[in-house]
Amino acid sequence: MPNPNNEATRRVVYEKSRGLTDTPLTYCPGCTHGTINKLIAETLVELDVLEKSIAIAPVGCSVLAYEFFNCDAIQAAHGRAPAVATGIKRAEPSKVVFTYQGDGDLASIGTAEIIHAAHRGENITVIFVNNAIYGMTGGQMAPTTLVDQKTSTSPFGRAEATTGKPILVSEMMATIPSATYIERVSAHDVPHITKTKRAIKKAFENQINGKGFSMVEVLAGCPVGWNLSPVDSMKFIAETMIPYFPLGVYKDEGVAV
């Protein structure tokens, strides 16, 4: 029987990925950005492309992501990350280029850039974090804010009559003929985190294999912006967000599913 205190027989089951730097994450307690950051970091290490990767950080809560990913990184103007990624990827086609964008960044100010990066079939990977709110600026209403959800600019709840219904980004992106892979996942519990990582991995493998534009939409929690505890935020994703934002593969290998 092995000695339980024998260091030689000990095995690390889980540790912080070397795909992340030592810089402490600046996100609020329980923010899903940290979870998604590490899934990307782990994926880049597992695919052995960390050193040849270039991250594009957005404006928003993850504006400092260029300090977190342990690879070359660049900070882009609000919404413009897909255009910046296009410039880098076309200049350095053998490198792995990805954008990391929130819903204010991608689904509001950056709609033109994301749609046209997909429309051109840019061989890049986009990780789209949908937490239904502008977190960094103080919890304002986003295009993905749910109807009746209270935010600092929809204090009585999002009114459908004047602000419409939440935009369904994955469904919309799947209609773009040159997009290769579009999937919506969630990071609210460990089984879903495992599925999220699988989707992220596929999105990067597509790029490495030259298959073109891949986007993974990850449903995420904003406990501070939502005025919920981190644990209740995860429940909110499961019970309220997922019914409106159905999980699944919306397009694969250029074929809508």
Partner 1 sequence: MKVLMKGNEAISEAAIQAGCTAFFGYPITPQNEIPEYMSAKMEKAGGVFIQAESEVGAINMVYGAAAAGVRTMTTSSSPGIALKQEGISYLCGANLPCVIANVARCGPGLGGILPGQSDYFQATRGGGNGDYYTPVYAPATVQEAWDMVFESFDIADKYRTPVQILLDGMLGQMMEPVEMKVHPRLNIDKPWATNGNADKRPRNTITSLSLFGEVLEAMNLQRFKVYEEIEKNETAVENTVKEGDTVAIVAYGAPSRIVRNAIDELRAEGINAALIRPITLWPYPYDTFQDLPKSVKHILVAELSMGQMVEDVRLGVNGKYPVHFYGRTGGVVFEPGEIANKVREIMGKPAKPLASGQKQMTDSNLKGGI
Partner 2 sequence: MNKVIFDEAGCKGCVLCVDVCPKKILAPDKSRVNAKGYNPVVCNNMADCTACAICAKICPDSIITVERG
Residues making contact with partner 2 (CB under 8 A): 4-7, 9-17, 20, 24-25, 27-35, 38, 189-190, 193-194, 223, 230-231, 234
Q: Which stretches does DSSP call E strand in 33-110?
A: 53-57, 72-75, 96-102
Mask: binding to partner 1, 88-127, rule CB under 8 A, as x and -? Answer: xxxxx-xxxx--------------xx-xx--xx-------
Q: How far is the CB of 172 from partner 1 (least distance, A)?
A: 15
Count the residues of the shown chain that bind partner 1, applying the rule CB under 8 A: 40
Provide CB contacts within 8 A for 187, sequence distance 6+.
32, 35, 36, 39, 193, 196, 218, 219, 220, 237
- The CA-CA-CA angle for residues 126, 115, 252, to 5°, reads 60
List the single partner that 143 binds among partner 2, partner 1, none, CB under 5 to 8 Å by kind: none
Q: How far is the CB of 55 from partner 2 (least distance, A)?
A: 16
Does 130 help bind partner 1 (rule: CB under 8 A)?
Answer: no
For partner 1, the binding residue among 25, 28, 47, 67 (CB under 8 A) is: 67
SS3 9: helix
Q: How far is the CB of 33 from partner 2 (least distance, A)?
A: 7
d(CA 115, CA 112): 5
Applying the rule CB under 8 A, the residues between 177 and 196 that interact with partner 1 are none
List the single partner that 194 binds among partner 1, partner 2, none, CB under 5 to 8 Å by kind: partner 2
CA 58 vs CA 92, 103, 107, 121, 122: distances in Å:
20, 10, 12, 21, 18
210: left (phi over 0), alpha (psi -120 to 50) or beta: left
Does 136 help bind partner 1 (rule: CB under 8 A)?
Answer: no
Does 51 help bind partner 1 (rule: CB under 8 A)?
Answer: yes
List the single partner that 112 binds among partner 1, partner 2, none, CB under 5 to 8 Å by kind: partner 1
Q: How far is the CB of 194 from partner 1 (least distance, A)?
A: 28
Of 59, 38, 172, the residue nearest 109 (C-alpha): 59
Which among 8-16, 48-56, 132-140, 194-202 is the span making contact with partner 1, rule CB under 8 A?
48-56
The residue (of 72 and 171) whose beta carbon lies closer to partner 1 is 72
List the single partner that 12 binds among partner 1, partner 2, none, CB under 5 to 8 Å by kind: partner 2
d(CA 104, CA 149): 16
- The CA-CA-CA angle for residues 137, 189, 248, to 5°, reads 85
Q: How far is the CB of 13 from partner 2 (least distance, A)?
A: 4
Q: Which residue has the tokens 């950005």?
A: 33
d(CA 76, CA 162): 31
The residue (of 58 and 221) whose beta carbon lies closer to partner 2 is 221
SS3 229: coil
